[in-house]
Amino acid sequence: MEKDETIEIRWHGRGGQGAVTSAELLALAAINEGKFAQAFPSFGPERRGAPVLAFNRISNVGHIRVRAAVTNPDVVVVLDPGLIYITDVTSGLKQDGIVVVNTPKSLADIKSELSGPWKLAVVNATVIAREALGIPIVNTAMLGALLKATEILGLESLVEPIKERFGPRAKNNIDACHRAYEETLMAELSVVGQGPRKAFETERLLSWQELLPGCVVIEAGNAKQYRTGDWKSQHPVWDQQRCIKCGICSLFCPEGCIGQNKEGDFEANMYYCKGCGICARECWTEAITMVEET
């Protein structure tokens, strides 16, 4: 970090993935280095699985007075590989800013999907987290990747906050962080190129003029228009040979999004499926497997 600089970071994750914890740990590490720091989530009704944001400001100038959400970040960190296809992760990113992405894809593949006047850093944090922690919670690994890409803090400054937060699980988290630091690859993005392939059309929000007076909703069940399918980080796949067509999956799906198609095969509607994995867990014959989104 330069001597008199304030760096703004925006974290893109899914509810439950630990974006807020990442931001908090980073701020604590910065404060331990004698810097000034903020960490806070974006507040909203978003729930486990839904795309969420968290923010950091880190400064070696002095107190940070701004309390607003970060809209023009110097760095964005993307915890979930699928998010670059469903949200505009580089929105407002400053010239020469850095995009740090967790992805199983190669540097070259991601370079062909993102473009702009930015630097790119990639790491397969999901694999690292699975191996180091046994679960795909990537927040500590992504802290390692962030520090490799930006060098805003020393890697060792994270050790204390991680110990404090994770207690007996600290060692594994520190390992994940170190490994991601080692494995992060960097590249310049090309300024022109196509944007990322969008998984779905982006939803258009209604303006206040379009709402009925009194906030009346006149169409029963119109939430059907609302897509929750982009909350998922994995999706169910049926082995129709094994499936005995009992329908227990459709009964237990919290989204009510499993039904039979014309051939009589059970399938999930990906427009709504949130990837909870209940159907796969409860299937009598283990005909359903959860496959990670890429």
Partner 1 sequence: MESLAIYAPRLVTTKEYLASGHRACSGCGEVLAVRLTCKALGRNVIIVNATGCMEIVSSQLPYTSWEVPWIHTLFENTAAVASGIEAGIKVLSRKGGYSQKTKVVAMAGDGGTMDIGLQALSGALERGHNFIYICYDNEAYMNTGIQRSSATPFGASTTTSPAGKISIGQTSWKKNMPAIAAAHDIPYVATACTSYPFDLMNKVKKAMKVEGPAYIHVLSVCPTGWRLPSDLTIKAGRLAVETGVFPLYEIEAGKYTLNFDFPQLRPVEDYLKLQGRFRHLSKEVVAQIQERVKAEYAKLKRKVIQGS
Q: Which of 61, 66, 187, 217 binds partner 1 (CB under 8 A)?
A: 217
Least spacing, CB of residue 132 vs partner 1, in Å = 18
Are 50 and 15 in contact by the 8 Å Cβ rule? The answer is yes
258 binds, among ligand SF4, partner 1, none (CB under 5 to 8 A by kind): ligand SF4
DSSP one-letter code for 37 = E
Residue with tokens 């509810």: 15
Binding of partner 1 at residue 170 (CB under 8 A)?
no
Binding of ligand SF4 at residue 268 (CB under 6 A)?
yes
Bridge partners, 291 (sequence order): 235
- For residue 194, how many other CB atoms are within 10 A of its CB? 9
Size of the site for partner 1 (CB under 8 A): 52
Instruction: Return the closest-CA partner of residue 142 out of 110, 106, 109, 98.
Output: 98
- For 19-153, where are the E strands, in sequence order? 36-41, 51-59, 75-78, 98-102, 119-123
Binding mask 224-253 for partner 1 (x = CB under 8 A): xxxxx--xx-----------xxxxx-xxxx
Please tell me whether residue 48 adopts helix, strand or coil conformation.
Answer: strand
Binding of ligand SF4 at residue 278 (CB under 6 A)?
yes
Q: Which of 269, 286, 291, 294 binds partner 1 (CB under 8 A)?
A: 269
Residues, the chain:
294
Site for ligand SF4 in 7-66 (CB under 6 A): 47-48
Bridge partners, 236 (sequence order): 290
Binding of partner 1 at residue 51 (CB under 8 A)?
no
- The vertex-198 CA angle with 207 and 232, nearest 5°, equals 85
Binding of ligand SF4 at residue 82 (CB under 6 A)?
no
Binding mask 196-235 for ligand SF4 (x = CB under 6 A): ----------------------------------------
Residues in touch with ligand SF4 (CB under 6 A): 47-48, 236, 253, 255, 257-258, 268, 273-279
